[in-house]
Amino acid sequence: MAPVAGTFYPGRAEVLSHEIARLLAHAGAQVHTAPGPPKALIVPHAGYVYSGTTAALAYAQLAPWRDNVRRVILLGPVHRVAVRGLALPGSTHLSTPLGSVTVDQAAIALLSHLRQVTVNPAAHALEHSLEVQLPFLQTVLDEFQIVPLAVGDAKPVEVEEVLNTLWGGPETLIVISSDLSHFLPYRTAHAMDLETVQAILHLRGSLTHQQACGGTPINGLLLAAKRHQLKPTLLGLCNSGDTTGDRQRVVGYASFVFSGVDHAPH
């Protein structure tokens, strides 16, 4: 079941594959890949027509490492269901038109002692922030399993604890799904998003939900990035006014890659 297939992204497998290939090809011509394996990405989660070009800039970073990554820790904010902490779906697989992705039960077992991690299928049932990332991951990686976490009312340190528990090595990738500012005039949004970008680049984990709907998981990642000495790089920044032309009420999008030499658990 893929609830937002056909709305946020194409619902037919062949059309979806073609669209992702087009986005990745365009991205690959624009960016240079990081010198080492990416440890974390921040990617937007709007419909592909709005933010697909920006998301592809992040996923293009994985091309040299497609057979290295075996586990993806995917965190995105809840939009429809109130959640305390971080919620797992309680399922063994997630599906898109491109097929099924196995949920990593061994990783979930490692989280069983954390009180902030719960099982809440309703939080995942219609949550686009997680689902829209899956077709990209299915395209750019070979065999991998996923730990999908819908993030609600949680403290950054609670998110960091989850990330540290599953940190692993180069085989483990963290993906944070988040858009930036919402429904502001173009110039106001651009100025706010530039401030948010600087906060992320300087690992200042104090983002509000007005700055980024995924501010909570981003703040947790920034704490972990400090601990593990990761360096963020901005790959792209735009908003829906750039991609659709309507500049009255725009949504901001950015992609980042985090890399570094420290891939060992602490």
57-79 pLDDT, tens digit per residue, is 999 999 999 999 999 999 999 99
Structural domain includes residue 195: no
Asked whether residue 191 carries a pLDDT value surpassing 70, the answer given is yes
Domain count, the chain: 1
Asked whether residue 28 carries a pLDDT value surpassing 50, the answer given is yes
Structural domain includes residue 48: yes
Structural domain includes residue 30: yes
Structural domain includes residue 191: no
Tell me what pLDDT residue 36 has: 75
Structural domain includes residue 130: yes
Q: Strand, coil or helix: what is 129?
A: helix
Q: How far apart are CA 85 and CA 100, in angstroms?
A: 26
Q: Strand, coil or helix: what is 235?
A: strand
Closest listed residue to residue 46, CA positions, set 133, 121, 125, 124: 133
Cα angle 35, 224, 251 (rounded to 5 degrees) comes to 80
Tell me what pLDDT residue 32 has: 66
Proportion of the chain above pLDDT 70, given as a percent: 95
Give the predicted TM-score (pTM) of the model: 0.95
Element holding 233 (H helix, E strand): strand 231-239
Structural domain includes residue 185: no
Kind of pairing between the strands at 99-103 and 145-151: parallel
194 - beta bridge partners? Answer: none
Structural domain includes residue 86: yes
CATH number at residue 64: 3.40.830.10
Tell me what pLDDT residue 264 has: 41
Q: DSSP H helical segments within the chain, as ranges?
A: 13-28, 48-59, 105-110, 121-125, 128-131, 134-140, 156-165, 186-201, 215-227, 240-244
Contact 107, 172 (CB under 8 A): no
* 3-state helix, strand and coil shares in percent for the chain, rounded to the nearest 5: 40, 25, 40
Structural domain includes residue 18: yes
Cα angle 199, 46, 166 (rounded to 5 degrees) comes to 60
Q: Strand, coil or helix: what is 180?
A: coil
Phi, psi of 17 (to 5 degrees): -60, -40
Q: Which domain holds residue 149?
A: 13-178+219-244+254-259
Q: Across residues 208-214, what is the average pLDDT?
A: 96
